[in-house]
Structure 1
């Protein structure tokens, strides 16, 4: 909540909205005895829990509640809105569908069936190790398979220094989480990896299966022209029913939409909720 979500919340508050930014369960200052664990089901429920809280404040109109999801929480917010009709409008920015990204990897063409089985075997080993150890073990939440068929996992999110040949996507994440937006409570900033068994939930449960049911409530998708994640927003837009709108920000990368105030189309975002919740 001290990173991109707080910037979006502050801007909405400037325009008269009551805005709450929160850490998902098991991260940051949120509760849960399991730490640094991501769960599609629990993170979806977190949005409905936030609605429980904010809609019962005496100075909030419970019939005018909207929601915003950024990056990996975008898939969760759309899933939540599909079933929680208290949320009357929803917007996403720099969208990721984490269940697709984790199970199928980038653009769905990374794992062969044989590679996916290797990943499942790796997860089974890690789960057994955690059970024997009685405590979590960090590991990559998106697992690579090398040319020799070995699963590659790391117990830290980022190295102290990126290699010279790091690609632009990794550089973008590193510059944001380790650089300009570093916060010690952020799992992506403090270099520790997520719990190594995190992929289980995303292998078991797909997000956004029923987002067509959001209609007739409106949806706004914000993505960047140069965002490597743009295809997620495009796919969601194709699946959604009207009313829907997709904004492609010229020249913007994925992480630009986290905090680059001159590139995030806040005027469009505010106008969207003004129109939807009036």
Structure 2
């Protein structure tokens, strides 16, 4: 185990990392997997999986991978990381602050600022590895962290190439009046919490029935069944801190899209509830060195978590994009 602490912060939390293989996907014989720890700029220790090709030499290209929002590194992000390691990249998949095996005294809460820095901390770790060429580091994000690859790329100029798979933007409100009303509800919850009232977690993937929206059925089929369930995953049943979305409602994913200068590849299924978001992002990437949206016919949002029933994830195209741009 290696701990990357580049900021001279005091380490106050010891992580209890699971050493056995407990991923939702099979272990590859072509890749070495190591549990590692990294520290972000806020002093929070993160748990991560480093995937190294067995034939790794030196000056290797590398990719920092973020799982879907509410997932853990043992789910979709880890699958992407291991598969790309099989194809010749050093990769790292991490649990964001406050979730999974990562540190943070408050549990199951998210913060755009802190979580984007988590992503940069994974870049830090790769940047410091002797086997990695620091000028050949890319990022890949899935679902909610797929859209955060763009503010990350605008902020972190060390990132040389960006892949966003099945991106899903948090703020789905059509107008400011609805957004304000949602904030009122969350702040009312906040008042209840501070007054001592017990408030239930925000369950993002609830039980379903025949009349449930197709979007929820799609999520349930991944997070709540044997296909993708993981006991440490917020979306598999733990639930978010009930006010966790407050900061996301004032955070505009598209705000700095025109400052992303790196080459970008977006991947999305045409049956995904979120497909239009990749279309919108593609239009806003006005200064990207190159940009492309690959539309996967027949794929839903969660089909691009693990390939679904038809191996929908276009790993050949993702590999070719990174090899061209890293």
- TM-score, length-scaled by structure 1: 0.85
- The number of equivalent residue pairs is 249
Question: Structure 1: which 5+ runs fail to align?
Answer: 141-155
Q: Contact (CA 8 Å) 2:96, 2:102: kept in 1 or not?
A: yes
1:205 counterpart (247, 251, 261) = 251
Aligned to 1:148: none
Partner Cα separation in structure 1 for residue 301 and residue 251 of structure 2: 25
Between Structure 1 and Structure 2, which shows a larger proportion of strand residues?
A: 2
Partner Cα separation in structure 1 for residue 214 and residue 249 of structure 2: 27
Aligned to 1:27: 99
Aligned to 1:185: 232
Between Structure 1 and Structure 2, which shows a larger proportion of helix residues?
A: 1
Map 1:32-111 onto structure 2 (within 5 A): 32-98=104-170, 100-101=171-172, 104=173, 108=174
Q: Contact (CA 8 Å) 2:164, 2:265: kept in 1 or not?
A: yes
Aligned alpha-carbon RMSD (Å): 1.7
Distance change >3 Å, CA 275–CA 6, structure 1 → 2? same
Q: Residue 263 of structure 1: CA displacement?
A: 0.8
Q: Contact (CA 8 Å) 1:69, 1:77: kept in 2 or not?
A: yes
**Which has the higher relative contact order, 1 or 2, with Cα contacts under 8 A spaced 6 or more apart?**
1
Aligned to 1:153: none
Map 1:239-278 onto structure 2 (within 5 A): 239-241=284-286, 242=288, 243-260=290-307, 262-277=311-326
Question: Structure 2: which 5+ runs fail to align?
Answer: 1-72
Q: Residue 157 of structure 1: CA displacement?
A: 3.5
3-state SS in 1 of match to 2:241: coil
Q: Contact (CA 8 Å) 2:219, 2:302: kept in 1 or not?
A: yes
Q: Residue 204 of structure 1: CA displacement?
A: 2.3
1:16 counterpart (81, 88, 91) = 88
Q: Contact (CA 8 Å) 1:40, 1:207: kept in 2 or not?
A: no
